[in-house]
């Protein structure tokens, strides 16, 4: 599996821009809060470690991953100066096909919001078969998807600023 070879928090081989000049929104789903809280901590600490100012990070929660699209939309509509929005969630397969509909909806939804506002909206959503896979990717043996989402947000914000110059 590709995941076996890659740690979501390993950025030793990449150059991460200074985030001090950028403003970020973070939208976090409350479902599977043990996991999403860990994703949030990973994302927040990664932003700050790379220079983002706490006063430039605006964080909000939504009930579930399905609402991440609405959360991103509301953030960018009401805070147009945000340079990027990070969406964090954890969808774990249950007995029915509900998992598929949520995952498809949020993946397509956040992409559409990014295009609508021409702003980076980062898909930091775990979509796992079980709880253990989620734990492993929220600060466990495979790193933290929140780290990955934060670094992606910084890189995309920097790219946008460069192209707008
Ligand atoms: N089962 C999971 C959900 N379900 C809730 C939906 O996201 C949504 O809030 C509901 O359908 C009402 O619109 N959400 C997750 O984030 N993770 C899950 O595992
Ligand atoms: C991904 C979900 O919505 C899931 O938790 C719902 O569980 P189920 O498919 O057993 O109803």
Give me the interface pTM, i.e. the ipTM: 0.97
Nearest CA to ligand 1 atom 11: 66
Q: Is 4 part of any domain?
A: no
Residue 72 C-alpha to ligand 2 middle, in angstroms? 23
Does residue 39 lie in a domain region? yes
CA-nearest residue, atom 8 of ligand 2: 94
Q: Is residue 30 part of a domain?
A: yes
pTM equals: 0.96
DSSP 34-56: HHHHHHHHHHHHHHHHTT--GGG
By the 8 A CB rule, do 141 and 3 touch? no
Q: Which atom of ligand 2 is nearest to 95's Cα?
A: 10
Report pLDDT for 2: 46
Ligand nearest to the CA of 131: 1
Structural domain span for residue 32: 23-164
Residue 46 maps to a domain: yes
Q: Please give the average pLDDT of every successive group of 10 residues along the chain, which has 165 residues.
A: 69 90 98 98 98 98 98 98 98 98 98 98 98 98 97 98 93
In a domain, 58, yes or no: yes
- Inside any domain, residue 18: no
| Mutation choice for ligand 2 from 33, 96, 97, 130, CB with most ligand atoms inside 8 A | 96
Q: Is residue 7 in some structural domain?
A: no
Among the bound ligands, name the one nearest to the CA of residue 65: 1
CATH number where 119 lies:
3.40.50.960
Q: Pairing mode, if any, of strands 24-29 and 57-62?
A: parallel
80 lines ligand 2 (CB under 6 A): no
Distance CA 98, CA 82 (A): 32
């Amino acid at each position: 599996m590709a995941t076996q070879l890659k740690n979501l928090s390993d950025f030793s081989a990449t150059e991460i821009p200074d985030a001090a000049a950028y403003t970020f929104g973070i939208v976090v789903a409350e479902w599977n809060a043990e996991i999403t809280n860990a994703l949030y901590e990973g994302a927040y600490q990664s932003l700050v470690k790379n220079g983002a100012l706490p006063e430039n990070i605006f964080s909000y929660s939504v009930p579930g991953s399905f609402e991440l699209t609405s959360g991103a939309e509301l953030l960018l509509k009401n805070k147009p100066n945000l340079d990027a929005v990070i969406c964090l969630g954890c969808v774990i397969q249950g007995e029915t096909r509900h998992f598929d509909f949520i995952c498809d909806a949020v993946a397509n939804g956040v992409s559409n919001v990014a295009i609508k506002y021409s702003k980076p909206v980062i898909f930091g959503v775990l979509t796992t078969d079980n709880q253990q896979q989620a734990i492993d990717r929220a600060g466990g043996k495979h790193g933290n998807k929140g780290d990955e989402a934060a670094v992606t947000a910084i890189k995309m914000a920097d790219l946008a600023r460069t192209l707008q110059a």
